[in-house]
Structure 1
Amino acid sequence: MGLFDQTTSEGWQSLPLPDAELSLWPHWLGEAEACALLTDLQATIPWEVHRIRIFGREVDSPRLSCWIGDEDASYVYSRTRFDPHPWTPVLASLRDRVAHACGARFNSVLANLYRSGQDSMGWHSDDEPELGVQPVIASLSLGAARRFRLKPRDEGGRGNVLGIELGHGSLLRMAGHTQRLYMHDLPKTSAAVGPRLNLTFRWVDASRR
């Protein structure tokens, strides 16, 4: 039995996604710790507005972001290379805890700050070559609950959409064929919601570039 199997009874909930591996731990962090972490990370992460390419032109991404990781964990997204900021002690400790919970190892994390319901993330898959064939990606959510959606990639992504409410302190584990078979997004909302901070931990293999 692997480490991830051992933690299933402690809070993981398997989510229905055919031919993929998707699990949610709704309250992985307690309320007090999640609130303290949100306050700390909002203040200490060097937030940036990343430039992304959409339909052949570069635009500002509709959120604040920061790529953090080991020195060799550079990442290419939307034809842009991101060199990592160094780990802070808080994020390094959190990385180790998330890795233990997910039965995986991580050398990098993408931090996204959605300042209001008007900040968003478009449909995409985390399927860059340096992430490997079946990456394990762990997504920790802090702050306002937002709706996270997944849909099949085949036939242009048309098909049933699975919506998940990712609340304060929740941990989502995406593994297996999830990135190869599905796309995901975080849509805008007209609701008056506060900021949401999301950390997606992953392993970048520089030899695959």
Structure 2
Amino acid sequence: MSTIAIVYFSGGGHTHLMAEAIATGVHTAGHTADLLRITGEQITAGRWQDDGFMARLSAADAIMFGSPTYMSGVAAQFKAFIDGASSAWFVQQWKDKIAAGFTHSSSPSGDKQGTLLYLSINAAQHGMVWVGAADMPSQYQGKTDGINRLGSFLGIMGQSPMTMDGSPATLESGDRLTSELFGQRIAVAAERWTSQKVAVAA
């Protein structure tokens, strides 16, 4: 059984809902999901630090990175985490782990690809093995379930209209299903990759 760490920041709650749906997919595939939500309290004097988080990330077989897209990139709180995690980069602690990414914004484009590119480049710097999405957009298959409705393959994207009235965050049903399927995909990929590494080592 593989452990998939899902480390993310969520401001309005939408990215959190995606993370939970991804975790559901991981569980459906018969594996363990470890949800790690970044908070402002972990940042002191501009520097992110949480030794407990880092230990759990190092123990995981795969790490999925998630952030809302703010002004064409990751949230400042998530960037602080990335900088704080440079300690793992110095010793290549995450080398050869499976990696993947997800993001959310209030507009259909929102320049979300910029966030996914940033996440994948960071994973490459850590020597990780990036796994993208593989579901064809449902509209090209004559379906109405909304799977990959935004047509993203580098990672997955979610979109919900901006609300200013304080109402709770919601996740579009197609984005939820896309997230669940992505969780399943990463869990299966991690299991396959881990078993191959064990076979080679033997």
Give the TM-score taking structure 2 as reference length: 0.27
Q: Which has the higher strand share?
A: 1
Give the TM-score taking structure 1 as reference length: 0.27
